[in-house]
Chain A
Amino acid sequence: MAEAAVIRTNMTDAAPVTARAEEKLVPYASQRVAYWYFVIALALFLLQLVVGLWLAISYAFTIPQSVVDVLPFGMTRAMHTNLLVLWMLLGFMGGTYYLVPEEAEREIYSVKLAYIQLVAFVLTGVIALVGFAFGWTQGRPILEIPTPLDFVVVLGALIFLFNVAMTVIKGKRTAILGILLGGLVFLALLYIFGMPFYRNLTIDWFYWWWVVHLWVEGAWELVTAAILAFVLIKITGVDRKVVEKYLYIETALFLFTGLAGTGHHYYWIGAPGTWLWVGGIFSAMEVLPIIAMVIDTFMTQRRHGVVIKEKIVWTFAVGTAVGHLIGAGVFGFAHTLPQVNYFTHGSQVTAAHGHLAFFGAYALLNFTMFWYAIPRLRGNMNVNKNMALSGFWIMSLAVLGLGSAMVVAGIIQTYVERVLGDGFMVAQGHMQLWFKIVIVFGVLLIVGLILTFWNLVFAKRPVLESEAIV
């Protein structure tokens, strides 16, 4: 009630204040294109979670034949993963469009192209999802979308790269922009390796990982490191030189370990045995850059004695560093050595690692940018801080919970199916309980996301005289 009163009383006379604040909050008008990228990304994430809940139910209970024939698990699983890729890429692209003008100190080359590209990606996504329902698919996990749509994606990516490159070329060049652009070009190039039909299944999977591994442990790391560096400079006020130095060292470590580390996917596919050595050694080191990132994030604040005013953004930034370490670093390391991987490969252990790593490294990173940019784009920084932090904790603990339940299921599977040799379905029977736990945490995750989505995009915010930045 009190809050509502404040809103009403301030509605009329505070309007000019807001307008002035807005100018300062978002220095370049073209940054506004980012807003629709963010909102659509959030909506797609919500859809991904709803589909994911159905997948967990399919694991936890016996779904009758009549339902399975109409709504096969495979169809919904394709939706789940494609929604993941689409919303995260839209988040990264929105983040890029938001930060490039501030870094390059000029407007985006073409706002129109940015919107055309958004429409191209969203249309592709909608057609792909509807297509899956009718069995229009390439049938290769994550890279399901049929070839004609692949070309639309490539076209959209080219528009995006052209637009960003033209902005950077004509403006100021910074290390952040260099790494960001490098990562985006790398990302687009790798996609091409996933497009052809390969006759040999071994070669097929070999290049499948050029897309999937080199995206998540290469190109995406560059893009997100750049976005994180941008946000850290803005909210901590630490000297740019310091942040950029760490950006170089961390991305060097990411690429040094990540490129040859691709080998950890080549142990059991019919590739030469050398990969077991190279993959094992390099991927064991993949945790190093992540540790460096966590230390760096904390030290940045300590060493410089900075008082962080934007508590929400800071919480998500630290959360992504820690989440990255747990999900990608620790859980990745746990089963990356060939001796362990022989038993865990292709089990729920992999699925657990995937969920924890994607959320920790990339979902929280996107949310860090959302919380930095969306309040500014809405021209009002008076965010409900407690609700925002609750959103962070609910989502993070929910993912930790569902990931842990999947780990337990994976250990049961590894032991019963692979060590005892008792058969796949026998193992799945023992695992069903843990998928019921996944459902509970999945519901919690949806609650956390709805809370965050609403708070970010829809919540009415009191307009205060003082420009309180929370």
Chain B
Amino acid sequence: MANKNAFYIFLAGTLVSLVIFLALTWDTHQQVDALTNADKLTEQVVAGKHVWEDKNCNECHTILGFGVYYAPDLTKAHKRIGTEGIKQVVLQPEVVFKDSIRKMPNLGVTEQEATDLAAFLEWVSNIDNHDWPPQDSADRMSAAERRATGGAGLSRGAAAFQQNCMGCHSIGGSGGSIGPALDNVGTRYDTATIEAIIVDPESVNPGATMPPQSNVSDADRQAIGEFLAKQQ
């Protein structure tokens, strides 16, 4: 009758695990609205999720770490490059990734779809998910990033640069590669020109793909201009 005992072990083990699993599932449903800011889950966010699915974004990108590993994780994309940055990328990928080792297809996204998608990604970026992923965690700003932005005593300009610009630009090999590296930018532009670029990139470089950075405060913009002008 050894098999009868084996069968009961099978039943008991399965049930214990199932009960724990279902109890935690119930608990998840209780807490998920608070953890994901469900009150901010508007119809526009849902429309953005439909764009996300219709354009097959998840089949190259990961989100919350799930999906495909061919392109960057987009959980915190909105914190990296903001609404304008996201729109720029999806509307003109062939321009943004001209020099990239990996390209993004032009998926025929409309202006409205791009706006909805950005709203969706903004909502996602505020999900309380234990500060994942590490590369976007403010608490875990890497040694390289700290080095690039001026070491332990971070100047205001370096801090503002780190916060606003490094999603696309890099210094010392640290940061994004959507825009050009800015290691020697001070040899080309002075503070005033850099500030002008931040306000309206096309005023200095007609045809520039960088979007105007309207969300940067006047004081931050000035600090970034001074900081970058010193990069020679």
Which A residues lie at the B interface, using CB under 8 A?
A: 58-59, 62-65, 68-69, 72-75, 77-78, 135, 137-141, 144, 175, 199-203, 205-206, 208, 241, 244-245, 248-249, 251-253, 255-260, 262-263, 265-276, 278, 282, 342-343, 345-348, 350-351, 417-426, 428-429, 432
Query: Are B66 and A208 within 8 A (Cβ)?
Result: yes
From B9, B56, B59, B101, give the contact of A429 (CB < 8 A): B101
B73 at the interface (CB under 8 A from A): yes
The answer to whether A200 and B38 touch (CB under 8 A), given A256-B13, A259-B21, A275-B24, is yes
Query: Are A77 and B70 within 8 A (Cβ)?
Result: yes
Min Cβ gap B118→A in Å is 15
Cα distance A64–B9 when bound, in Å?
57
From A175, A263, A267, A421, give the contact of B144 (CB < 8 A): A421
Interface centre among A73, A141, A262, A266 (most CB of B within 10 A): A73
Cα distance A347–B134 when bound, in Å?
12
Interface centre among A208, A244, A275, A342 (most CB of B within 10 A): A342
The answer to whether A63 and B3 touch (CB under 8 A), given A135-B56, A202-B36, A269-B129, is no
Minimum CB distance partner of A69 in chain B: B105
Min Cβ gap A13→B in Å is 48
The answer to whether A78 and B59 touch (CB under 8 A), given A199-B41, A423-B176, is yes
Minimum CB distance partner of B28 in chain A: A271
Interface centre among A141, A269, A345, A426 (most CB of B within 10 A): A269
Query: Are A245 and B142 within 8 A (Cβ)?
Result: no
Chain A residues near B60: list those with CB within 8 A.
Answer: 72-74, 77
Chain B residues near A64: list those with CB within 8 A.
Answer: 103
Cα distance A457–B217 when bound, in Å?
70
The answer to whether A74 and B134 touch (CB under 8 A), given A268-B64, A278-B24, A423-B175, is no
Interface centre among A202, A262, A421 (most CB of B within 10 A): A421
Cα distance A260–B174 when bound, in Å?
40
How would residues 18 to 57 of chain B score, 1 for a CB under 8 Å from any chain A CB and 0 otherwise? 1011001101100110011010010000100100111111
B84 at the interface (CB under 8 A from A): no
Interface centre among A257, A348, A419 (most CB of B within 10 A): A419
Cα distance A312–B80 when bound, in Å?
54
Minimum CB distance partner of A72 in chain B: B105
B151 at the interface (CB under 8 A from A): no
Chain B residues near A269: list those with CB within 8 A.
Answer: 64-66, 127, 129
Cα distance A263–B20 when bound, in Å?
10
Chain B residues near A63: list those with CB within 8 A.
Answer: 102-103
Minimum CB distance partner of B143 in chain A: A420
Query: Are B63 and A201 within 8 A (Cβ)?
Result: yes
Min Cβ gap B139→A in Å is 12
Query: Are B135 and A268 within 8 A (Cβ)?
Result: no
Cα distance A245–B55 when bound, in Å?
50
B83 at the interface (CB under 8 A from A): no
Min Cβ gap A162→B in Å is 25
CB<8 Å pairs between A and B, sample of 25 = A65-B94, A68-B104, A72-B56, A74-B59, A74-B70, A141-B67, A200-B38, A245-B2, A248-B6, A252-B6, A256-B16, A259-B20, A259-B21, A268-B132, A269-B64, A269-B65, A270-B128, A342-B134, A346-B73, A420-B143, A421-B134, A422-B174, A424-B72, A425-B102, A428-B101
